[in-house]
Structure 1
C-alpha cells in the first residue's frame, strides 16, 4: 500500500512539474511574442486566455508527435469540455437537414405570426468549433430576437477537405428555406450568418443562392469578422495586429494551409503574395487595394508592400485559395449586386479586419444596403467571450447586442 501511495505521489509530482514548465513557457512565449496595443482595454485578461491557448496547442502538438492523436483532435476535445446550457425559454432539437446535423433553437412561447429564421455557421478555421461550443451564441440570438436559430454542424477539415464545409452549410440552408413553415418560420425572413470561417461560409451561401429563382431570397446576412480574401496579407490590419493575441499574422496562413491540406512550407510565398498570377493582380487588385480602406484604419501605422513577383509553381499548388468559394471578395459584380442586406461586424485589433472593410465597400458600391458595427476594443474570436464570467469582455457584450438589434429590426 505504501509503495502504491509513493508511486501515486511521484506521478502527481511529475505532472505538477510538467504543468509548471508548460505554464512557464506559455507565459514566456506570450510576453516575448505578443504585442498588445496600448489602446486595448483588457490586456491582462487577454494574456491569460492566450496562455491557455498556447498550452493547449503545445500539448496537442506533443500528443500528435507521440502518435496519440492529432493536435486538432485534442483542441476539439478541450473545447468540448466547456459546459454551455440552453436557455430554459428555448427548446433545442438535434435534427438533420439534407443529411447535415443541425440544432434548432426555438422559443417555447407561441407566436401569432411566423418567426424569422437565422442559420448560423460557427467559426474555428473550418477545423474546430461545433454546434455545442456555440450553444451560448445561438441561444442568445434565438432568445433575444424571438427567432428560430439553426446552428449547422458542418463537416470539419482535415477529415473532410473543402468544399465540404460550405456545401454542408448550403445544403442545410436550402433545406431550411424549403421547410421553413414546418418550423414556424417565414421563408422570406431567413438570415444567414457566422463568425470568422463561419462568416466566410455565410458569404459563400449567400452568393450561391442569388441565382436560385426557385427559392425565396435571403432577408439578410450577418458577417462577423469574416476571412474573405487570400491575395494580400500585408494590408493595414496585418501590419498593425501581426502579434495581437490570440491569432498571429503567420497563423492566418498556417491555418489556411492546414484547412486546405496544403504544404506548410508554402507559407512564406503566400504571405509575400507570390502565388497570385499577373492576370489576377490586374483583375482583383482594384478590390483589394488599400485605397479602399478608410484612412482612420491606417493611423496606427501602415506601409504599402507590393506583392512579390509571381511564381507559377506556387500558384499551381494553391489555385483554389483565390477562387470565390474561399476568397468571396472576388465574386463577379453580377453576384455582388444581388446580395441581401448585410451587417458587418469588424474589430479594431483583428488580424483580418480589413477583409470585411473591403467587402463592405464592394457591396456598397453595388447598391447593397449595409449596416456596419466596428468594435473598438475587439479582437479576433471575441464573440466567444460575451458571457464567460470573469473572462467576459465588454466588447463581446456590445457586439452581441448589436447583432441582436440588427436581427430584431429586420
Structure 2
C-alpha cells in the first residue's frame, strides 16, 4: 500500500526534477552560445524566447533518440498550435493545383477589387506553416484590406530545392490566372515573404518579371530575406554571429538543408571554401562588403581572406549559384524588370546585409525601393508583433510600415 502511494509522488518528483534540469541546461546553453546586443529592446524577453526554443529542440532530440518522432517533426508539431479565429476575415483552406494554400479575405464589402498578397512563410525552408504565420497574415489582410494567400510549400529536408520554390511559383501563377474568383484586381498582385519566405518571394518575382502571358506584378515585399549563400562573412554575419533567433551557423545549416537535405560541408560553407575563387570574383560586383554602407561596419568588420575550394565540395553546393536559390545573383536584365519593392532589414540580424545588397542592386537598376530598417530589430521580430507579453515594439513598427506600403500601392 505504501509503495502504491509513493509511486505517483516519485514519478512527479522525477518529472519536476527533469524539467528543472532541462530549463537549467537551456539557460546555460543560451548564456554560453548566444549574445544579445545592448541595442535590442527588451533583451530579457528575447532570452526567454530563445531559451524556450532551445528546450524544445532538446526535448525533440530526446524523442528522436528513443524512436518516438524526429526532432524536426516535434518542433513543427509544437509550432502548429494556434488558437482563435479573426471575426473580421473569411479564412479558408484550398489547393492551388497540388499546393495547399490558406486564403484570408476581409468580410467588409469593397467597392472595388482588392489587392492580392501572395505570402510565403519563413522558417529556414525547414520549419514554419500556416499556423506559425496565421496572426501575421490576419493582420496584413485586415489592416490593408487585402486578400492574403498563404502558401503551404513543401519543407526540407524531406523536399529539397527547388521544391519550395516550385510550389510558391506554381501557386502564384494559378492565383494570377484566377484572381476574379477572389475579387482581386489582377494588376494589384503583390509577392511577400519573411526570411526564407523572403528568399522565395524574391525568386518568384524574378521568374515572373519577364512573363508576357501574365499581368505584371504590382510589388514585392521582402522581410529580412536571405538572398545569397556565397559569403557568410559579410559584416552582418561577423557582427551578429550569435544573436537569436538566427545565428550564423544556423543560417548556413538551413541553407544546406534546403539545398541538399543535410548539413554536410558546414565548415567549408562558413569559412567560404565552398565556391571557387573565380566564381566569387565573378559575383563580387554584387556580393561584396564594398557595397555595404560604411555606417554598417562601425560595429566591427574584418575583411575575409578568399579561400578556394575542392571540386568535390563545389559539386555538392554549386546550385548556390542559381538565382532561383540565391536571387542576389540574378543578371541585371532580370533585375531591371522587377516591380516596386519594399525591403525590411534588422540591425542585429545576420541577414541584414543580404537585404542591403539587394536594395543597392534594385536601385542601381532603376527599381523604386521603400526601405525600412529596424535599429533595434533582430531576425524573426515581425512574427512576434502580437505575442502577448513577449512582443517587441520594433516588430509592430515594422509591420505597420509594411501595411502602410500596401495601402500606398
Q: Choose 36-45 or 140-149, whichever is displaced more.
A: 36-45
Asked if structure 1 preserves the Cα contact closer than 8 Å seen for 2:275 and 2:314, the reply is yes
Q: Are residues 273 and 191 of structure 1, via their aligned partners in 2, closer, same or farther at CA, if it must alter by over 3 Å?
A: same
Displacement of 1:4: 4.5
Q: Are residues 181 and 5 of structure 1, via their aligned partners in 2, closer, same or farther at CA, if it must alter by over 3 Å?
A: farther
Matched position secondary structure for 2:285: helix
Asked if structure 2 preserves the Cα contact closer than 8 Å seen for 1:262 and 1:317, the reply is no
Displacement of 1:245: 1.3
Distance in 1, Cα, partners of 2:155 & 2:339: 27
Distance in 2, Cα, partners of 1:88 & 1:101: 23
Asked if structure 1 preserves the Cα contact closer than 8 Å seen for 2:160 and 2:257, the reply is no
Displacement of 1:264: 3.0
Q: Are residues 14 and 261 of structure 1, via their aligned partners in 2, closer, same or farther at CA, if it must alter by over 3 Å?
A: farther
Instruction: Tell whether 2:241 aligns with 1:242.
Output: yes
Distance in 2, Cα, partners of 1:281 & 1:31: 36
Asked if structure 2 preserves the Cα contact closer than 8 Å seen for 1:100 and 1:153, the reply is yes
The list of structure 1 runs, each at least 4 consecutive aligned residues, that deviate by more than 2 angstroms after superposition, is 1-9, 258-265
Unaligned runs of 5+ in 2: none
Match of 1:48 in 2: 48
Matched position secondary structure for 2:353: helix
- After superposition, what is the alpha-carbon deviation per residue over 1:263-285, rounded to whole angstroms, capped at 9, x for unaligned? 53411111111111233112101
- After superposition, what is the alpha-carbon deviation per residue over 1:302-345, rounded to whole angstroms, capped at 9, x for unaligned? 11112212322210111112211211100111111101110000
Distance in 1, Cα, partners of 2:360 & 2:397: 23
Matches within 5 A, 1:167-316: 167-261=166-260, 263-316=262-315
Aligned Cα root-mean-square deviation (Å): 1.3
Q: Are residues 2 and 119 of structure 1, via their aligned partners in 2, closer, same or farther at CA, if it must alter by over 3 Å?
A: farther
Asked if structure 2 preserves the Cα contact closer than 8 Å seen for 1:254 and 1:264, the reply is yes
Scaled by the length of structure 2, the TM-score of the pair is 0.97
Match of 1:159 in 2: 158
Match of 2:108 in 1: 109
Distance in 1, Cα, partners of 2:5 & 2:253: 45
Q: Choose 2-11 or 317-326, whichever is displaced more.
A: 2-11
Instruction: Tell whether 2:2 aligns with 1:10.
Output: no
Asked if structure 2 preserves the Cα contact closer than 8 Å seen for 1:275 and 1:312, the reply is no
Unaligned runs of 5+ in 1: none
Distance in 2, Cα, partners of 1:266 & 1:138: 36
Match of 1:86 in 2: 85
Match of 2:58 in 1: 58
Matches within 5 A, 1:255-404: 255-261=254-260, 263-404=262-403
Q: Choose 18-27 or 270-279, whichever is displaced more.
A: 270-279
Asked if structure 2 preserves the Cα contact closer than 8 Å seen for 1:272 and 1:307, the reply is no
Matched position secondary structure for 1:286: coil
Scaled by the length of structure 1, the TM-score of the pair is 0.97
- After superposition, what is the alpha-carbon deviation per residue over 1:143-199, rounded to whole angstroms, capped at 9, x for unaligned? 001110101111111222211111111111111111101100000000001000000
Asked if structure 2 preserves the Cα contact closer than 8 Å seen for 1:80 and 1:132, the reply is yes
Displacement of 1:55: 0.4
Match of 1:29 in 2: 29
Asked if structure 1 preserves the Cα contact closer than 8 Å seen for 2:40 and 2:378, the reply is no
Distance in 2, Cα, partners of 1:68 & 1:88: 38
Asked if structure 2 preserves the Cα contact closer than 8 Å seen for 1:121 and 1:193, the reply is yes
Displacement of 1:2: 6.0
Q: Are residues 234 and 9 of structure 1, via their aligned partners in 2, closer, same or farther at CA, if it must alter by over 3 Å?
A: same
Asked if structure 1 preserves the Cα contact closer than 8 Å seen for 2:81 and 2:131, the reply is no
Distance in 1, Cα, partners of 2:19 & 2:128: 25
Q: Are residues 152 and 120 of structure 1, via their aligned partners in 2, closer, same or farther at CA, if it must alter by over 3 Å?
A: same
Distance in 2, Cα, partners of 1:74 & 1:12: 23
